[in-house]
Amino acid sequence: MKRLLIAAATCWVATVSWAADNVAVAVYANDPALKKFEKAVQARMEEILSDSGLQPLDEAKAKQLRDNWADLADPSHLITAEEIAAKAGQFEVKRIYRVSFNADASMPLGLYHSAAAQLQLRIIDKDAQVKSSQSAPMGTKGFAASDAATPEAAIVNALQRAVDSVGEAAGLKVLSPVTARVVPINLEAVAALPAGAEALGGAAAASRPVAAGWEAAAPLMAERWKREETSCQATSPDGGYGVVGTYAWSVDRLARDNARKYGGYLHLVDVKGKKPVTQLTLHELGNRGAGENGSSAAIACSFLGSWRYLIAASGNRLACWDVERGRETCNVPISYTPEKATLRVLQAGSERFVELQSDRGRSAFKITTSGR
């Protein structure tokens, strides 16, 4: 009999604990056009709450609570403890997680869809105490946008990542973070540019004013036996970022022949803030690899239609980077070892191209989204 009483008490305690951990999730799209994404946000939010040891209401009860509480959709509505008791008391929830969101998708370079999302979270307890947070800004350096072949896939991925961001800010456990979907940019050699190809963005982009002096923020090596010198520079079409390409060299004073080593780097700079952002490597300072017969310096650099994508040429290769992720996405060998060059980004209809003009030859490439 004593064992039965203990078992019953244990079950009662477990039931009370389970009820105390009940929570409700209510999701609202700020734009009616995004309403179809509410279920994706709800599912991800409930997954994180479950991982955090909480028990979200089942789908039917969550819908009933939301449908019977019209004022919950209004973020400016002042919720009282009495209203919570009247509208949510039957569900015995400890907290209500009210989520609202925005999202939009664009087509960088006209090749794929890229989405950014912003999510706001209000956590309302049974006493009407409210804690608010919002997801980190997406589509900026450090928190990349989500890329995909369709706008729907890109938006869903962006929203799931925004839920993770706001969940972490609220102290919830995000056991398996959703990673950003990536569409890598690549270059495909073509015999010639198509007729009618013109500079991407036209004259307006070329004449956009840019704050002067930003290039001084690039942290070039300036030691006695190890230095960098500027060999190319460019600014993004929106004027937000600039890149300084360099010719790097070092002298080994301990070597019998004072052996020199060479390299080339790209320094990304925040133009408005005049501060360094990141450094990318075109050629590591050191001995050249097999087939690297041309200059290791960055002899030409440019942006591929937006600040997100950077392209640079040395005397033996042409390379692309996804700036947001600091990831190299293309590597095309150059065999004619140019010493001086310029890069142009062009458009012909819906297609985008890069032209490398140098003192020793000219090459044209189509920008594609094929993997490496």
3-state SS, 274-307, equals CEEEEEEEEEEEECCCCCCCCCCCCCEEEECCCC
Residue 255's pLDDT is 64
Average pLDDT, the chain: 87
Task: Tell me what percent of the residues of the chain surpass a pLDDT of 90.
Answer: 68
Q: Are 193 and 364 in contact (CB under 8 A)?
A: yes
Confidence of residue 260 (pLDDT cuts 50, 70, 90): confident
**Does an H or E element contain 367, and which?**
strand 362-368
Tokens of 235: 């600014």
Rg (Cα) of the chain, in Å, rounded?
Answer: 28
Flag whether pLDDT at 137 surpasses 80: yes
End-to-end CA distance of the chain: 71
Pairwise pLDDT comparison (140 vs 115), residue with the higher score: 115
Q: Which amino acid is at 18?
A: W
Pairwise pLDDT comparison (163 vs 370), residue with the higher score: 163
Residue 17's pLDDT is 39
Flag whether pLDDT at 326 surpasses 50: yes
Residues 6+ positions from 248 with CB-CB distance below 8 Å = 221, 226, 227, 228, 229, 262, 263, 264, 265, 285, 296, 297
CA distance 61 to 213: 60
156-170, 255-269, 353-367: least confident range: 255-269
CA distance 198 to 88: 61
For residue 144, give the nearest of 113, 180, 176, 92 by alpha carbon. 180
Confidence of residue 256 (pLDDT cuts 50, 70, 90): low
What does the pLDDT look like over 104-113, one tens digit per residue? 999 878 888 9
CA distance 111 to 154: 13
Flag whether pLDDT at 288 surpasses 80: no
Backbone angles phi, psi at 143, to 5 degrees: -140, 85
For residue 41, give the nearest of 147, 152, 164, 163 by alpha carbon. 163
Please list, residue by residue across 209-232, b when 16 or more beta carbons sit within 10 angstroms of its beta carbon and e when fewer do. eeeeebbebbeeeeeeeeebeebb
For residue 140, give the nearest of 118, 120, 155, 125 by alpha carbon. 118
Residue 325's pLDDT is 81
52-56, 108-112, 357-361: least confident range: 108-112
Confidence of residue 13 (pLDDT cuts 50, 70, 90): very low
Pairwise pLDDT comparison (205 vs 296), residue with the higher score: 296
Confidence of residue 275 (pLDDT cuts 50, 70, 90): very high
DSSP annotation of 329 reads E
Pairing state between β 226-235 and 241-251? antiparallel
Domain boundaries, the chain: 2-169, 186-368
Residue 150's pLDDT is 94
Residue 142's pLDDT is 72
Flag whether pLDDT at 62 surpasses 70: yes
What does the pLDDT look like over 218-253, one tens digit per residue? 999 999 889 999 999 999 988 889 999 999 999 877
Residue 6's pLDDT is 36
Tokens of 53: 């040891």
Residue 125's pLDDT is 94
Pairwise pLDDT comparison (365 vs 21), residue with the higher score: 365
Could you give the 3-state DSSP secondary structure of residue 98?
Answer: strand
Sign of the CA dihedral with 292 first, then 296, 299, and 301 last: positive
Confidence of residue 178 (pLDDT cuts 50, 70, 90): very high
Pairwise pLDDT comparison (263 vs 289), residue with the higher score: 263
Give CATH for domain 2-169: 3.40.50
Flag whether pLDDT at 297 surpasses 80: yes
- List the beta bridge partners of residue 199: 346
